[in-house]
Structure 1
Amino acid sequence: MTLDELRAQVLAFRDERDWKQFHTLRNLIVSTSIEAGELLETVQWKTDAQIDALLADPAQLTHLKHECADVFIYLLLVAHTAGIDLVDAAAEKLKLNAQRYPVEKAKGTAAKYSEL
């Protein structure tokens, strides 16, 4: 399935339920953040070893997958509402990050670009 096809399915799902009225840009951004918090909860208080074990447990992996999907669906709706092409935006951001984090300065370090 393409991104455009997925977006169309998400919009159809929303429209069938008459939820567009609630999907203001502000509400969608807030909801994206809430869903990102739920994604964060999947690893909260866990060690790296426990997170690795989570990935090996089908039920926990399914929960993680669904939380990722919730964030992604809301992000699709945010971008649609704001008129943003996510693929173009991501490509543009990668180019910017390549300038901010040149390989010769950033390789092997977690430092922010302003610290390089």
Structure 2
Amino acid sequence: MIDTAGLEAELHKFADARDWHQYHTPKNLAMALSVEVAELVEIFQWHTPAQANAVMRSDEARHVEQELADIAMYLVRLSMVLGVDLNRAVAEKLVMNAQKYPAPQA
């Protein structure tokens, strides 16, 4: 299971040090998250499946890692601002998905 507590604490300290809490509204964080996802998508845009599968063996690997980190940070920060326990939400969603898509039938 995931545990975002350490990341949450670091993101809170980071925002505190820069007085960014005032800007970290649900709207702003959701929009920023969307932008970061789009930046990740852009890396793969127009690639064939084979090219997309090879990205992590290319010069773009570090770029992919950075975009994934941005996505994770914005997602965790958004969940904090909304008061969502992301660990609980993920655990519950995994149970729901297991019921919806039982392994023997998948």
TM-score, length of structure 2 as denominator length? 0.89
DSSP-derived class of the 2:22 partner: helix
1: CA distance, partners of 2:66 / 2:21: 22
Q: Which deviates the most, 28-37 or 47-56? A: 47-56
Deviations along 1:8-63, one digit per CA (max 9) or x if unpaired, are 11111111111111111111111111111111111111012212332112x31110
> Stretches of 4+ moved more than 3 A in 1?
none
2:101 matched to 1:101?
Answer: yes
Unpaired runs of 5+ residues, structure 1, are: 108-116
Give the match for residue 43 of structure 1. Answer: 44
- The percent identity for this pair of structures is 40
1: CA distance, partners of 2:41 / 2:63: 12
The structure showing larger relative contact order (alpha-carbon pairs under 8 Å, at least 6 residues apart) is 2
DSSP-derived class of the 1:69 partner: helix
Q: Which deviates the most, 67-76 or 8-17? A: 8-17
Give the match for residue 55 of structure 2. Answer: 54
TM-score, length of structure 1 as denominator length? 0.82
Unpaired runs of 5+ residues, structure 2, are: none
1: CA distance, partners of 2:63 / 2:17: 26
Select the structure of larger CA radius of gyration: 1
DSSP-derived class of the 1:20 partner: coil
2: CA distance, partners of 1:43 / 1:84: 31
- Equivalenced residue count is 104
Q: Which deviates the most, 26-35 or 65-74? A: 26-35
Q: C-alpha displacement at 1:78, in angstroms?
A: 0.7
Deviations along 1:80-116, one digit per CA (max 9) or x if unpaired, are 01111111100100111112112343x1xxxxxxxxx
2:36 counterpart letter in structure 1: E
2:24 matched to 1:27?
Answer: no
